[in-house]
């Protein structure tokens, strides 16, 4: 037989013996209590019966004394009062005796019958309250009529009492003898019972001593096991505890919990109380739902583990130095089954902070490596001259951003003016980075824009709000330096390849052009051939201004992919852009192309529903005019509805609803050039900031030019920019 079975039999035998002894002792005590109570009653009755034996004789003597006093005409009031007291006391004590003695006692029955015979004889005597005598001058004192009747009653009572006093006294003596005998028998039984109880107690003590000795070794083994358990719980790095059906932690837990949660009062603590100050309310609610599911009999444990919401839990703990530190804990749950189902849920908690941080470092390293590779591959498709030009312009723009950040300001208006300048410069840099498909640069600038946007939402600004931007700007400048270094390496790598140009730069040479050059065409989803990035027919030697067309075509392809649009970009005349206008034209076209892709050109499904071709059209024309230059930008998209512009202005709180209603069509169209205006509610890499057309307008006005817009909802949108023919003094953006 197994040790468990032997132990079970021993425990059952111990319980049986203990129960039997307890029953014996209990019965003995109950019986003894009843005997003692009965003995006490009998002794009290014995004392009463012994006292009552003297009353019949005393009543007889008091009646004799009353008769003698009546005969000699003496005062009889005190004697009568004594008789009344004696009769009343005898009657009361006899009633008490009859209530305490068994009703089947013959002695008591005979005494009660005889005493009842006393009642009609004694009643006229004890109830007399009249004047027994009358006084006269001739005869002296004599019995009155009431006195004579009273005397007659006393004589009858005296005769009855003298005849029956001895029998009544004998009956009460016999009753006392019977009660004495009963008390003696009860004392004998009680003594025997007490001896039996003492013997049973000795047996119980011997049995308890035997089992105590037999249990000592097992308790020693149990203590050793408990010590080993405590040693294990102190040593393990995981936290262990049990949850009951009310989701409360048991009285035993591992020491690691104290280190993890910086507390030591876990016993009786609910699981919700353990986490409520450490995790968000939504996470805590999900965790409690999961814990409740664990107690369901139908829940599959392996399936439950796969949906564990606490597999990696982020908590913020006090670090003991007045600050907080982030830790990552992993909770695992195992159901403990009992004979009647789930008994407890064992919870193990592991601190996986080091693993999570290491995994993040590895992931970041991998992402950095992938980013470096992507950046290298991207740089291989960018014209080195364009890239260098962008990096120089970005450095200059970021230096201006740095200057704006360091510019002193005191009032809230001055701080918000700084935000407007930051928005314009960053948006320009991001636009050109997106045009060159430099995603790493564009995303970092976009993050800076987000920080500026968050500052604009604050009710009041201070210099401390700009400090995070300075750190982000340093990170962006460092990234641009790495891009410049990477570009130099890529250029050097290209120079070492067979057929590399000896000049140290690489350009894509288009094939020889036909006699009449065709317009540049780029269709989203079908990019131009690598040998002709602009999509044009062949030209003679490429010129510096020709770099703009390939950039726009590349940007158009990216925008089409990102926004699920299809459109054809047609570019004409950019070779005629004066060098002094190149930067401004480039910024304007990048922003207008982004607006056309996001807001203008519809999706193929929408275009088909409007009886349009699936592929939209974006047309760019630059040409000389009578007194300067003219730039036309047109798309055949959704157009601009003045009412939609008014509604967007009200939504962004740039205008009140009443002021918006008062705007005519021309004033409504002018809203697109207002800082902070955008018809898109969300913010993306290409739209939503409300800065782009503001930058375009400022750039054109800075050159002394003019900009206009015409549109037909559902048909087209056309921007017309007129620039002066003379070279402006400054091309800086106001």
Parse the chain into domains and list their residue ranges.
3-227, 239-358, 374-496, 520-724
Report the pLDDT averaged over residues 326-355.
84
- Residues paired with residue 724 on neighbouring β-strands, in sequence order: 628
Strands across the sheet containing 716-724: 520-523, 567-572, 616-625, 628-635, 716-724, 706-712
Can you give the pLDDT at residue 61?
92
C-alpha to C-alpha distance for 39 and 55, rounded to whole angstroms: 25
Mean pLDDT on 719-733: 66
Residue 364 has pLDDT above 70, yes or no: yes
* Residue 317 token pair: 């703990």
Proportion of the chain above pLDDT 70, given as a percent: 83
Torsional class of 338: left (φ above 0), alpha (ψ -120 to 50), beta (otherwise):
beta
Q: Using an 8 Å Cβ cutoff, are 53 and 173 in contact?
A: yes
> What is the rounded CA–CA span in Å between residue 100 and residue 96?
6
522, pLDDT greater than 80: no
Residue 345 pLDDT more than 80? yes
Highest mean pLDDT among 117-131, 220-234, 522-536: 117-131
* DSSP 3-state of 348: strand
Residue 70 predicted with pLDDT over 50: yes
CATH value of 374-496 in 3.30.1380.20, 3.30.70.1450, 3.30.1330.30, 1.20.120.160 = 1.20.120.160
The more confident residue out of 574 and 424 is 574
The single residue listed with the structure tokens 């690489």 is 506
Residue 531 CB contacts under 8 Å (≥ 6 apart), including other chains:
508, 509, 510, 511
Judge whether residue 518 has pLDDT over 70.
no
Lowest mean pLDDT among 155-169, 447-461, 517-531: 517-531
Among the residue ranges 189-198, 575-584, 685-694, the one predicted with the least confidence is 685-694
pLDDT at 691: 60
Which helix (H) or strand (E) is 618 found in, with range? strand 616-625
Position 232 scores a pLDDT of: 82
Angle between helix 55-71 and helix 106-126 axes, rounded to 10 deg: 20
pLDDT of residue 503: 37
SS3 711: strand
Model confidence band, residue 583 (pLDDT cutoffs 50, 70, 90): confident
Directed axis angle between helix 106-126 and helix 145-235, to 10°?
130
| Cα distance between residue 661 and residue 711, in whole Å | 20
Instruction: Kindly give the residue spans of alpha helices, DSSP state H, lying in 499-656.
Output: 548-563, 582-595, 604-609, 642-651
- pLDDT tens for 276-328 read 877 888 888 888 888 888 777 666 767 777 778 888 888 877 766 666 778 88
**Rounded CA Rg of the chain:** 58
With a cut of 60, say whether residue 521 has pLDDT above it. Answer: no
Neighbours of 115 (CB within 10 A): 22
Q: Which tens digit of pLDDT belongs to each residue from 231-285?
A: 787 788 788 888 888 888 888 888 888 888 878 888 888 888 888 877 888 888 8
For the stretch 619-649, pLDDT in tens is 999 988 888 899 999 998 888 888 887 888 7
pTM: 0.43
**Which of 200-214, 486-500, 608-622, 687-701 has maximum average pLDDT?**
608-622
Q: Where are the alpha helices (DSSP H) in 381-466?
A: 384-406, 412-435, 439-457
- Residues of the chain with pLDDT > 90, as a percent, come to 2
Q: Is the pLDDT of residue 730 over 70?
A: no
Question: What DSSP designation does 611 have?
Answer: T
Residues 497/532, Cβ–Cβ less than 8 Å: no
Token code pair at residue 357: 């941080």
The structure tokens listed for 247 are: 């989701």
Cβ(394)–Cβ(441) below 8 Å: yes
Residue carrying structure tokens 């996986």: 352
pLDDT at 44: 81
Closest by CA position to 448, among listed 464, 462, 429: 429
Contacts of 415 (CB under 8 A, 6+ apart): 409, 461, 462, 463, 465, 466
Partner residues linked to 254 by β-bridges: none
Instruction: State the CATH class of domain 239-358.
Output: alpha beta
- Report the DSSP beta bridge partners of residue 241: 253, 347
pLDDT, residue 513, reads 36
Q: Which pair of structure tokens corresponds to residue 309?
A: 């919401």
CATH node for 520-724: 3.30.565.10
- Asked if the model's pLDDT at residue 687 lies above 80, the reply is no
Percentages of the chain per state (helix, strand, coil), in multiples of 5? 60, 15, 25
pLDDT at 493 over 70: no
Interval 80-107: pLDDT, tens:
899 889 988 988 888 888 887 766 678 8
Mean pLDDT of 659-670: 82
Task: Reduce the DSSP state of residue 467 to 3 states and report it.
Answer: helix
Query: What's the CA gap between 25 and 19, in Å, rounded?
Result: 10
Reduced to 3 states (helix: H, G, I; strand: E, B; else coil), residue 653 is: coil
Q: Write the DSSP string, 531-569.
A: T-TT-----SS--GGGGHHHHHHHHHHHHHHHHT--EEE
Which is more confidently placed, 729 or 417? 417
d(CA 161, CA 83): 12
């Amino acid at each position: 037989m197994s040790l468990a079975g032997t132990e079970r039999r021993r425990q059952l035998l111990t319980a049986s013996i203990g129960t039997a002894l307890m029953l014996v002792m209990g019965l003995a005590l109950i019986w003894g209590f009843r005997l003692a109570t009965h003995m006490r009653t009998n002794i009290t009755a014995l004392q009463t019966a012994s006292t009552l034996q003297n009353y019949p004789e005393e009543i007889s003597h008091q009646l004799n004394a009353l008769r003698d006093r009546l005969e000699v005409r003496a005062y009889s009031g005190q004697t009568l009062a004594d008789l009344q007291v004696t009769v009343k006391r005898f009657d009361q004590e006899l009633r008490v005796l009859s209530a305490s003695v068994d009703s089947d006692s013959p002695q008591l029955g005979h005494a009660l019958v005889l005493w009842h015979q006393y009642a009609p004889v004694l009643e006229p005597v004890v109830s007399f309250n009249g004047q027994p005598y009358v006084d006269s001058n001739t005869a002296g004192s004599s019995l009155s009529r009431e006195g004579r009747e009273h005397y007659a009653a006393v004589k009858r009572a005296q005769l009855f009492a003298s005849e029956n006093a001895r029998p009544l006294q004998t009956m009460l003596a016999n009753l006392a003898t019977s009660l004495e005998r009963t008390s003696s028998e009860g004392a004998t039984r009680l003594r025997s019972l007490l001896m039996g109880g003492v013997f049973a107690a000795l047996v119980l003590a011997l049995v308890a001593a035997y089992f105590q000795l037999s249990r000592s070794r097992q308790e020693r083994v149990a203590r050793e096991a408990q010590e080993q358990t405590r040693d294990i719980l102190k040593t393990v790095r995981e936290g262990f505890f049990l949850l009951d059906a009310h989701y409360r932690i048991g009285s035993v837990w591992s020491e690691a919990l104290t280190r993890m949660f910086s507390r030591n009062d876990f016993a009786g603590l609910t699981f919700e109380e353990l986490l409520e100050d450490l995790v968000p309310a939504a996470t805590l609610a999900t965790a409690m739902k999961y814990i409740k599911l664990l107690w369901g009999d139908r829940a599959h444990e392996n399936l439950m583990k796969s949906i564990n919401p606490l597999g990696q839990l982020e908590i913020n703990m006090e670090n003991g130095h007045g600050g907080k530190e982030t830790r990552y804990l992993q909770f695992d749950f195992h159901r403990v089954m009992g004979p009647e189902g789930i008994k407890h849920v064992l919870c193990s908690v592991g601190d996986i902070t080091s693993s999570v941080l290491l995994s993040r470092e590895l992931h970041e390293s991998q992402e950095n490596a992938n980013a470096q590779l992507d950046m290298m591959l991207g740089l291989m498709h960018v014209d080195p001259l364009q890239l260098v030009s962008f990096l120089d312009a970005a450095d200059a723009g970021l230096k201006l951003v740095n200057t704006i950040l360091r510019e002193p300001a005191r009032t809230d208006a001055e701080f918000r003016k700084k935000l407007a300048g930051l928005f314009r410069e960053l948006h320009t840099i991001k636009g050109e980075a997106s045009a060159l498909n430099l995603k790493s640069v564009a995303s970092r600038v976009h993050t800076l824009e987000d920080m500026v946007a968050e500052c604009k939402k604050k009710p009041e600004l201070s210099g401390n709000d700009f400090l995070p931007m300075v750190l982000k700007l340093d990170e962006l400048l460092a990234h641009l330096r790495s891009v410049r270094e990477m570009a130099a390496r890529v250029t050097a790598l290209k120079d070492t390849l067979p057929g590399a140009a000896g000049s140290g730069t690489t350009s894509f040479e288009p094939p020889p052009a036909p006699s009449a050059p065709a317009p540049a065409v780029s269709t989203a989803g079908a990019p131009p051939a690598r040998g002709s990035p602009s999509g044009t027919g062949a030209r003679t030697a490429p010129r510096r201004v020709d770099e703009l067309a390939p950039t726009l075509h590349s940007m158009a392809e990216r925008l089409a992919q990102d926004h699920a649009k299809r459109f054809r970009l047609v570019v004409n005349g950019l070779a005629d852009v004066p060098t002094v206008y190149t930067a401004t034209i480039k910024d304007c076209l990048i922003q207008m192309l982004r607006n056309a892709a996001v807001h203008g050109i519809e999706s193929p499904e929408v275009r088909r529903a409007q009886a349009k071709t699936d592929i939209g059209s974006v047309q760019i024309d630059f040409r000389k005019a009578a007194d300067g230059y003219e730039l036309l930008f047109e798309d055949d998209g959704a157009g601009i509805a003045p009412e939609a512009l008014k509604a967007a202005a009200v939504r962004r709180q740039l205008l009140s609803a009443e002021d918006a209603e008062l705007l005519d069509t021309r004033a409504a169209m002018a809203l697109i050039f207002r800082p902070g205006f955008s018809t898109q509610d969300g913010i993306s890499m290409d739209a939503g900031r409300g800065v782009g057309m503001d930058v375009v307008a400022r750039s054109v006005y800075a050159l002394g030019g003019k900009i206009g817009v015409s549109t037909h909802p559902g048909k087209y949108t056309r921007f017309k920019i007129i620039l002066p023919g003379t070279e402006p003094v400054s091309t800086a953006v106001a």
